[in-house]
Amino acid sequence: MRILYIGQYSDGTTSKMRADQLKEIVKAEEFVVIDTHVPFYKTAALWRSFGFRFKIGPLITSTNAFIKQELENQEKFDLIWVDKGVFVSEKITKKLRESTPKLVHFTPDMAFYENESKMFYKAMYLYDFVITTKSPEKEEYLKRVKKDRLIITTQGFSKENHTPKIEFVDKENSIAFIGLAEPNRFKMMEAFLTEGIKINVAGFGWEKFVEKHKDNTLLTFAGKKLMNEEYSKFISKSVMAWGALSKKFPEQHTTRTFEIPACKTALLTEYNQEIASFYKDDEVVFYNSEEELIEKIKYLFKNKKELKNISERGYKRVNEGGYYYKAILKELVLKVLK
């Protein structure tokens, strides 16, 4: 079996994790990767930003030219998997369609509220299957593809990268958060500090917040980007971690929904029906308001045995429930290749 994977293939990216797991699962005689990060990093930063925002310009042109070039002189593939193909034009997708009996698109991101791409919308009809982790976008997909070609799955974690690094007894009495800065996240962090709760933060956009609280010993900033071992160490260091959902779009769960329990740290998550379908009440810390969350944090800081049990049950749930990439991808491969 010959497989072609098209997507970002840099260390630390979830797309590379998916590619490596896919390669292991299928055990193809030939597994070819077209790494879209190659043209990405050869493009000037300004044009990268422009391409991300508007899906036009040198980044888009160079990405499609790179894929076209890499396809030359290639024999047909049994499966072509396009990961986050928002830069791939309809013209190039047609070339992919001609090169395989099974063309699949996967994205863990919002495709209609965020990362909008007219190129992807125009090319969607060419795919045998489109796979998404964003259930709120189901109806938008169904406007463009038939029901039997849409697969909704979950986010996941890497068993290799997201693992416990610190024993519970050695964890810090703090809340960890890693992710982009957003207004509601500033508000929550302010509330934590006001209540005397120690927080460890990492991610893009936190500079002004960190500067504002530079003299506050309750705040630690670990940097804009953490990868692999450092990511898991960051989460594992704290007794609890906040799995915040974005408010820029109707997100129902995120990678942190599974990565935090996988590091055997208790997950703090707002309650919704989707996350409640993954976890029982004693496996994570659900909340419905800022006040309820702070109350539960203070309670659990004083009741460590109960907190330890939550983190252990959450860890057991994500592993036994199959919320890791290899299990998720194995199920997807069975569906798309049958």
Quick check: 22 and 16 in contact, CB under 8 A? no
How many C-alpha atoms does 48 have within 13 Å on its Cβ side? Answer: 10
What's the whole-model pTM score? 0.94
Which domains can be identified in the chain, with CATH numbers? 2-154+325-337 (3.40.50.2000), 168-320 (3.40.50.2000)
Structure tokens at 27: 């055990």
Structure tokens at 184: 């509601």
Buried b vs exposed e over 73-90: b needs ≥16 C-beta within 10 Å? Answer: eeeebbbbbbbbbbbbbb
CA separation for the pair 261, 243 (Å, rounded) = 10
Predicted confidence pLDDT, tens digits, the chain (338 residues): 999 999 999 988 889 989 999 999 998 899 999 999 999 999 999 999 999 899 999 999 999 999 999 999 899 999 999 999 999 999 999 999 999 999 999 999 999 988 899 999 999 999 999 999 999 999 999 999 999 999 999 999 999 889 999 999 999 999 999 999 999 999 999 999 999 999 999 999 999 999 999 999 999 999 999 988 999 999 999 999 999 999 999 999 999 999 999 999 999 999 999 999 999 999 999 999 999 999 999 999 999 999 999 999 999 999 999 999 999 999 999 999 98
**Three-state secondary structure call for residue 2:** strand
Give the CA diameter of the chain.
65
Quick check: 51 and 58 in contact, CB under 8 A? yes
Comparing CA positions, the residue from 5, 69, 76 lying closest to residue 34 is 5
For tokens 């045998």, name the residue.
128
